[in-house]
Structure 1
Amino acid sequence: MTSEKWLKIIGIGEDGLGGLSPAARSLIDHAEILVGGDRHLAMLPEFPEDRRSRIVWASPIESTIQQIINLRGKSVCILASGDPLWFGIGTTLLKRIPIEEIAIIPSPSTFSLICARLGWSLNEVETLSLCGRPSSLLQSYIYPNAKLLILSSGKETPQIVANMLCDRHFSNSKITVLEHLNGTKERIISNVANQFQNFPEFADLNAIAVECIPNLEAKILSRMVGLPDDAFCHDGQLTKREVRAITLSTLAPNAGELLWDVGAGCGSIGIEWMRSHPRCQAIAIEKSRTHFIAENAIALGTPNLKIIEGKAPEVLQGLPTPDAIFIGGGATVPDLFETCWENLRSQGRLVANVVTLEGEQKLFQWQQEYGGTFTQISISRAEAISSFLGWKPMRPVTQWLVIKP
């Protein structure tokens, strides 16, 4: 079956060709063109009679990917680290080339090797990659007793991770840096986060394991919806915690779905949508508070939140099709709902919150034409009245939910 597939992707570890199966070795030996990083290609023996083309990944890799696609019909073999489908090049290539044309033979992933060294169960850990990705992604993974496995972007990454843990008051966390796993230069170094500045330079090729241990003063931010209001920087334009939790449960995010947060304010809805699952995506559309959105996205571990500065509905044209839309501001703006409804996918959810009578009138008009359900959200918080406590009601919120046929 594999002989019918022109593109082969072989996972290879630090132990080189010796760690590969005979089948993997045969695919490499019979390939016309070899592709990989300098480190991977250096693992192959050089023979004078071997005149096969060798392609080294360019930076950025898009030009090399296109070069590989142009070689369709030839026998191409890509050498990749460990498991090519776990934060690897295989995942990227499968977005452009069907699996029917690809044969993949993985080696043990870096994550599997770390668990084998530390005695951790792979199904009980969180895995993420900081290789070519913002380090602030780590923020949403830090919680008490979490076990994190992190693919590093280089020798500076362990100190970046340690600093982030200390900033979050998780300075007692144990960090283990594993260099050149499964190779002759393998080295494992462990210490607590606040002692990592005392270590000599790490190798560029490293991975990191973290046991998250909070200090007494640590601020714990749940990944469930409804973060405290003070978790966000804002100027008052914030969907309050209780309303936010209800709104997100109504929006009902699922893994891999895209949200449009229209009139995003400080970005709280889009950020919590993305925190609900690592594959959730969101676009925040806001005309004047984008600096708050950017700051909150980085601080709360969603740096990939896309921010569109401008006024809806004009800036909505050409955006990717959303699975859900939240209208948190501007319900009375002409053509806003119509533009959102036109772009929403079939069976997508649209939720709108308003606090004014004019907004309620607009929602009622839409509901008469498109259906959907109304909910009124009334919240009171206890506040001091002299030496006593009393209830202070928040402004009621009218919420409309409609699902597109």
Structure 2
Amino acid sequence: MAEGPWLTILGLGEDGPDGLPPASRAALDAAEVVMGPARHMALVPGTGTERVVWPVPFADGLPILEGFRGRPTVVLASGDPFWFGAGSVIAARLPAREWRALPGPSTASLAAARLGWPLDRVTCLGLHAGPLSRLAPHLAPGARLIVLLRDGAAVAELAAHLDAGGWGPSRLVVLEALGGPRERVTEASAATPPDHAVAAPVCAAIEVAGTGIALPRGTGLPDALFDSDGQITKAPMRALTLAALAPVPGETLWDIGGGSGSVAIEWLLRDPSLAAVSVERRADRAARIASNAARLGVDRLRVVEGTAPEALADLPAPQAVFVGGGLSDALVAALRAAAPAARLVANAVTLEGEATLARWHERLGGELLRIELARAAPLGGYRGWRAAYPVVQWSFRP
């Protein structure tokens, strides 16, 4: 095998090779193999001694690419291959010494340049392969978003989604084929999207306006945001629970006895790098958890239908565990064995649950709290305090 990388991941603009810097052009000219999507291959006709169109689904192309190991190979990608692109997937398969990347301007950079938007204060989302519900955590009056879309038809779907959610007045700028001879920029709104056929590749810039529901950044989201059959950790208690769980970017949560999924969903909303698994024994509640997660923009929540600890086999190791249902000595012992390094938070409202947590607190330490909440409510012609059941919370850090 020749010294140095055999693979170049090359960011290609809509103007094809004409817009490439010298190093990228030299890599393309020296390639024995050029591989990429059909649209990109059409932009570089006649290049390379062997031309391979990347298959669909994307994963099918990875073993084909690895078969060219040792031959100078170029993979074509859009703009910056590491901005919602193929670069990270390919790089994860190969040792660093075997590849190099020569990026071009990303779609986000080109869009921001057309709009005059400071990119460091814009939220960028890749929804070309994801549901529009992922917008939910980012929609608030005045917010600016740049969104990659699947194709031209997705523009109308995006506009309808925003309008239905109360964000119809939002400014919607549709940017087609940025950086090439087909470039077109169209000003519109979510309520009145462009009426012409939109060509791919396409992204949309959104300046949010309207009266839709903006998700607060704090913990303890309103209970009404969650579909529930009554099995839900209520907002004030949920805020205290999230504080005890103390999510740190990159961590994974096990949510045992998910109910409506509110704790796991709020965990995920804290940071896009967080992961969570919600374990729920009832099928109807498991389905409800998945529905709540998708609607609130965190469809990455993994829902496992089953009973702990049996359902915990083969799950990714957690850094935090929350027990919201099914509390018992056996369960706590099993969780300590399955995830000995994880932080553990458990809530109890029954005397039996309190006794369980008191025993584990005596055995392992940690913090034991008794939390009593009351809300003002009518009392005859006056007002009084209506108390909720007290909750005992045990939190333990190994």
For the criterion TM > 0.5, the same-fold answer is yes
Q: Deviations over 1:212-265 (max 9, x none)?
A: 1123xx333213221101011101101000111111121112222211111000
Whole-Å separation in 2 of the counterparts to 1:400 and 1:101: 50
Verify the 8 A CA contact 1:36 1:57 in the aligned structure 2: yes
Structure 2, unmatched stretches of 5+, are none
Whole-Å separation in 2 of the counterparts to 1:111 and 1:252: 33
Return the letter of the residue paired with 1:336: L
Alignment partner, residue 226 of structure 2: 232
Q: Deviations over 1:363-398 (max 9, x none)?
A: 222223333211222211111222322111111111
Alignment partner, residue 30 of structure 2: 30
Q: Deviations over 1:132-156 (max 9, x none)?
A: 1122111221112110010001112
After the TM superposition, which residues 1-400 of structure 1 pair with which residues of structure 2 at under 5 Å, given as runs?
A: 4-46=4-46, 52-196=49-193, 199-215=195-211, 218-288=212-282, 289-332=285-328, 335-344=330-339, 346=341, 348-400=342-394
Tell me by how many angstroms 1:62 deviates.
Answer: 1.4
Verify the 8 A CA contact 1:322 1:345 in the aligned structure 2: no
CA gap of 1:100–1:351, structure 2 versus 1, over 3 A, is farther
SS of 1:78's equivalent in the other structure is strand
Whole-Å separation in 1 of the counterparts to 2:361 and 2:141: 44
Q: Deviations over 1:65-90 (max 9, x none)?
A: 12223433332211110111111111
Return the letter of the residue paired with 1:396: P
Structure 1, unmatched stretches of 5+, are none
Verify the 8 A CA contact 2:227 2:260 in the aligned structure 1: yes
Verify the 8 A CA contact 1:323 1:349 in the aligned structure 2: yes
CA gap of 1:363–1:69, structure 2 versus 1, over 3 A, is farther
CA gap of 1:54–1:377, structure 2 versus 1, over 3 A, is farther
Verify the 8 A CA contact 1:266 1:293 in the aligned structure 2: yes
SS of 1:195's equivalent in the other structure is coil
Q: Percent identity at matched positions?
A: 40
Verify the 8 A CA contact 1:323 1:345 in the aligned structure 2: no
Q: Which deviates more, 91-100 or 315-324?
A: 91-100
SS of 2:386's equivalent in the other structure is strand
Return the letter of the residue paired with 2:119: L
RMSD: 1.7
Tell me by how many angstroms 1:3 deviates.
Answer: 5.9
Whole-Å separation in 2 of the counterparts to 1:159 and 1:85: 27
State the aligned residue count: 395
SS of 1:398's equivalent in the other structure is strand
Return the letter of the residue paired with 1:152: L
Whole-Å separation in 2 of the counterparts to 1:283 and 1:155: 35
Q: Deviations over 1:147-204 (max 9, x none)?
A: 00100011122222212212221111110110000110111111121112x6122113
Point out 4+ residue stretches in structure 1 off by more than 6 angstroms. none
Verify the 8 A CA contact 1:322 1:343 in the aligned structure 2: no
Verify the 8 A CA contact 1:154 1:205 in the aligned structure 2: yes
Q: Which deviates more, 58-67 or 335-344?
A: 335-344
CA gap of 1:392–1:36, structure 2 versus 1, over 3 A, is same
Whole-Å separation in 1 of the counterparts to 2:243 and 2:99: 40
User: Normalising by the residue count of structure 1, what TM-score does the alignment of the two structures yield?
Assistant: 0.93
Whole-Å separation in 1 of the counterparts to 2:153 and 2:334: 46
